[in-house]
Amino acid sequence: MRRMMNENERYDYVHDRFLKLSDHRYLHDHITRVSIDEDKTYLLINSIQDDNLREEEEVKRVTAGLLVDAALTTHQYVPLHNENEQREKEKQLVVLAGDWYSSLYYSELSKLGDVGLVRVFSRSIQKTNNAKIRLHERGWKDLEELEELITTMEATLIQNVGIYFNQRSIADFAGHFLTYRRLLDLIEHAEQDKEPFGSARLSPLFAIEPTDRDRENYIQEMISNLEVVAANVKDRLLASYQDNEAALSTQLKKRFMELVNK
Amino acid sequence: MKLADLYMYLRADIHKIEQEMATAVSNAHPVLKDATLQLLQAGGKRIRPVFVLLAGKFGDYDIHRLKHIGVSLELIHMASLVHDDVIDDAELRRGQETVKAKYDNRVAMYTGDYIFAKAVESATFFDDERIHQAMSKVIHEMVIGEIEQIRYQYVWDQDIKTYFRRIKRKTALLIAGSCELGAMAVGASREEQRALYRYGYQVGMAYQIIDDVLDFTGTEEELGKPAGGDLLQGNVTLPALYAMHHNPEIKAKIELAFQGELPNQEELTELLQVIKESGGIEYSKALSERYLKKAYETLDTLPQIPAVKSLSEIATYIGTRHF
């Protein structure tokens, strides 16, 4: 099917639709609105391509995927424990903002009548939260398992969407790309030592204050582990790029270059 | 008589729904599983699955279809409870530690999100997009209702319409949806679906009004929590709204009590007393009765099958319940 919108126009359409659908004046007057993840938007745009769908139907599905991502990201910002009474209302609204995004993705997909994709999304959300709990509870045996959990947490949704729409190259690339991106972010914030334990930026990996050893050693050990994992993932990302280059769009190639040159 | 006694003959099918809910989390991480099963085992009235099953009697009753709707709605309710406990900073629910108290807020968020996703997956048994549209509308309105509740917390001069809109979204539409979806799942006629939706809405409104009354009149033993919790949390419900509207002195007293720190137990007891003496309880009960009357009238428009008697008895129970 001939496509009328180029990649960037699709991005703009999705961006506008996301803002329009998720607009809630009271919520956004009181809490910071989650920003749209540009990398994930382009990955979803390239994952959701189906000759049987009209172009508008494709981009609406992309928006639904971003709403899921917004829901999951927003809930990362719920503080681990209650901090103070002044921030109580903010905490309450962050919980509800995540639920608000969840309700919107289901509403959007039900209007499109895509029950298959509803199933893909709901299974992906389950898998993602399972991984988050395991990370939160430090439930990995070795670095391989740690990497697997980070990939699951970061990329399950987009990988599953890619597989559902038979865009396996994008699914493969997305797994390595998003894992590597997250690892770099975790290492950067842990190294800066500005982020408190339990902060959204470091969650769920640094969620529990270590009690059995001193904090500094724990952070250093974790950073070293993450660096080993990151080096391995980078190798796989480079290989995936070579294997799948033909399927990647201009934007995805550009984002890949920016990431590996960081 | 207990509510469960009214639908004893549905017990086997409700059990199937409960089993299905337990199976739904059997592959989850132990923390997720433990958190969900604890909620499941804590019981509850299972009022939503009951409405689904009773509405299912108006079509080609099939528990293998209905259970997916029942599981879905009950899991949605359960997910919202887990998140509500984070919102309310609640330590106990039905006498047991909440997920957020046992673990932390973040685990409660992941658990709620997981259960919600399971709920949606259960609904994907159906390909009919109307079922998903009705289900997603229920969820969407419920979240808006929750946001409205926070928005109007400690707003003492809100009008009565705000209260009705809030309880409609927070409670009534989930019950209305349970009735409608049960009917949809078994192919009841559109007319029956609409009537059951209306009945559910009317009963749901009455249910929440009585729930709000009980927070003033119930004992700690009956409620499973201290009386006056709503007022203390700034949730302005019908008895208080009536009292403040009809007596500016009560409004001034409440506003004064909530200036600065929250009122202590003695002050709270005194506030509850003045609200009870204002006529707010009687007014709320009368309004609840009015909704129930409409519910009985709606039932009269439906085919007079045995399920109508159960739906009618449940409505009566709701109007007279003490906890």
In chain B, residues 240-299 whose CB comes closer than 8 Å to chain A: none
3-class DSSP state for residue B96? strand
Q: Using an 8 Å Cβ cutoff, are B289 and B315 in contact? A: no
**Hey, are the CB atoms on A96 and B142 less than 8 Å from each other?**
no
Closest CA to A179 of A191, A171, A168: A171
Give pLDDT, residue B157: 93
Give pLDDT, residue A239: 98
A24 at the B interface (CB within 8 A)? yes
In chain A, residues 33-52 whose CB comes closer than 8 Å to chain B: none
Chain B partners of A104 at a C-beta cutoff of 8 Å? 140
Closest CA to A174 of A249, A64, A122: A249
A204 at the B interface (CB within 8 A)? yes
| Residue A33 DSSP one-character state | P
Q: Residue B134 contacts by C-beta under 8 Å, 6 or more apart in sequence?
A: B177, B180, B181, B184
**Hey, are the CB atoms on A103 and B143 less than 8 Å from each other?**
yes
Tell me the CA distances in angstroms from B157 to A175, A203, B210, B245, one per residue in order.
52, 40, 22, 8
Find residue A117's DSSP bridge partners. Answer: none
Q: What is d(CA B128, CA A32) in angstroms, rounded to the nearest whole number?
A: 37
pLDDT of A217 higher than 90? no
Stretch among A147-151, A201-205, B88-92 having the lowest mean pLDDT: A201-205
Name the band, by pLDDT with cuts 50, 70 and 90, for residue B5: confident
Give pLDDT, residue A213: 62
Closest CA to B188 of B57, B47, B296: B57
Give pLDDT, residue A183: 96
Q: What is d(CA A162, CA A174) in angstroms, rounded to the nearest whole number?
A: 9
Chain A residue with CA closest to B138: the answer is A103
A200 at the B interface (CB within 8 A)? no
pLDDT tens for residues B297-310?
999 999 999 999 99
In chain B, the percentage of residues whose pLDDT exceeds 70 is 98
Chain B residue with CA closest to A132: the answer is B110
Q: Is the residue at A1 inside a domain?
A: no
pLDDT tens for residues A99-139?
999 999 999 999 999 999 999 999 999 999 999 999 998 88
Give pLDDT, residue A212: 60
Give pLDDT, residue A210: 62
Residue A144: give its domain's CATH number: 1.10.600.10
User: Shortest Cα distance from A84 to chain B (angstroms)?
Assistant: 12
Q: Using an 8 Å Cβ cutoff, are A66 and A13 in contact? A: no
Structure tokens at A142: 């070795």
**Hey, are the CB atoms on A137 and B113 less than 8 Å from each other?**
no
Tell me the CA distances in angstroms from B272 to B75, B109, B166, B267, one per residue in order.
34, 33, 22, 9
pLDDT of A190 higher than 90? no
pLDDT of A209 higher than 70? no
A95 at the B interface (CB within 8 A)? yes
CA dihedral A101, A107, A108, A112 (to 10 degrees): 160
Cα four-point dihedral sign B44, B47, B52, B55: positive
A96 at the B interface (CB within 8 A)? yes
If you count them, how many residues does chain A have? 262
Q: Using an 8 Å Cβ cutoff, are B202 and B311 in contact? A: no
Give pLDDT, residue B40: 84
Looking at the structure of chain A, the number of domains it has is 1
User: Shortest Cα distance from A103 to chain B (angstroms)?
Assistant: 5
Structure tokens at A68: 């899921």
Find residue B93's DSSP bridge partners. Answer: B96
Burial of residue B157 (number of CB atoms within 10 Å: 0-12, 13-18, 19+): exposed
Give pLDDT, residue B94: 76
Chain A residue with CA closest to B115: the answer is A126
Q: Residue A118 contacts by C-beta under 8 Å, 6 or more apart in sequence?
A: A106, A109, A110, B120, B123, B124, B132
B96 at the A interface (CB within 8 A)? no
Closest CA to A106 of B140, B80, B75: B140
**Hey, are the CB atoms on B136 and A107 less than 8 Å from each other?**
yes
Which run of H or E residues covers position A114? none
Give pLDDT, residue B95: 76
Give pLDDT, residue A87: 83
Give the mean model confidence (pLDDT) for residues B274-296. Answer: 97
Q: What is d(CA B181, CA B132) in angstroms, rounded to the nearest whole number?
A: 9
Q: Is the residue at A2 inside a domain?
A: no
**Residue holding tokens 């600065």?**
B260
Name the band, by pLDDT with cuts 50, 70 and 90, for residue A4: confident
Range(s) of the domain holding residue A104:
7-260
Q: Is the residue at A254 inside a domain?
A: yes
Angle at A113 between CA A55 and CA B119, to 5 degrees: 130
Cα four-point dihedral sign B267, B271, B277, B278: positive
pLDDT tens for residues B217-274?
987 777 666 788 899 999 999 999 999 999 999 999 999 999 988 999 999 999 999 9
Nearest to B136 among A92, A110, A207 (CB): A110
- Give the architecture-level CATH label for domain B135-323: Orthogonal Bundle (1.10)
- Give the architecture-level CATH label for domain B7-125: Orthogonal Bundle (1.10)
**Hey, are the CB atoms on B126 and A115 less than 8 Å from each other?**
yes
Q: Using an 8 Å Cβ cutoff, are B272 and B208 in contact? A: no
**Hey, are the CB atoms on A98 and B109 less than 8 Å from each other?**
yes
Give the mean model confidence (pLDDT) for residues B138-162. Answer: 96
Stretch among A155-169, B37-51, B227-241 having the lowest mean pLDDT: B37-51
Domain locations in chain B as residue ranges? 7-125, 135-323
Domains B7-125 and B135-323 share a fold: yes
- b/e code B123-133 from CB counts within 10 Å (16+ = b): bbbbeebebbe
Q: What is d(CA B185, CA A47) in angstroms, rounded to the nearest whole number?
A: 33
Structure tokens at A115: 């029950």
Nearest to B133 among A111, A126, A137 (CB): A111
A20 at the B interface (CB within 8 A)? no
Which of B77, B107, B113 would you mutate first to test chain A, the one with the most A CBs within 10 A? B113
Give the mean model confidence (pLDDT) for residues A171-183. Answer: 98
**Hey, are the CB atoms on A78 and B106 less than 8 Å from each other?**
yes
3-class DSSP state for residue B19? helix
State the Rg of chain A over Cα. Answer: 19
3-class DSSP state for residue B315? helix
Give pLDDT, residue B119: 97
Neighbours of A42 (CB within 10 A): 25
State the count of interchain CB pairs (< 8 A) between A and B: 143
ipTM: 0.95
Q: What is d(CA B81, CA A235) in angstroms, rounded to the nearest whole number?
A: 44
DSSP secondary structure string for all residues of A2-32: --SS-HHHHHHHHHHHHHHHT--HHHHHHSP
pLDDT tens for residues A41-67?
999 999 999 999 999 999 999 999 999
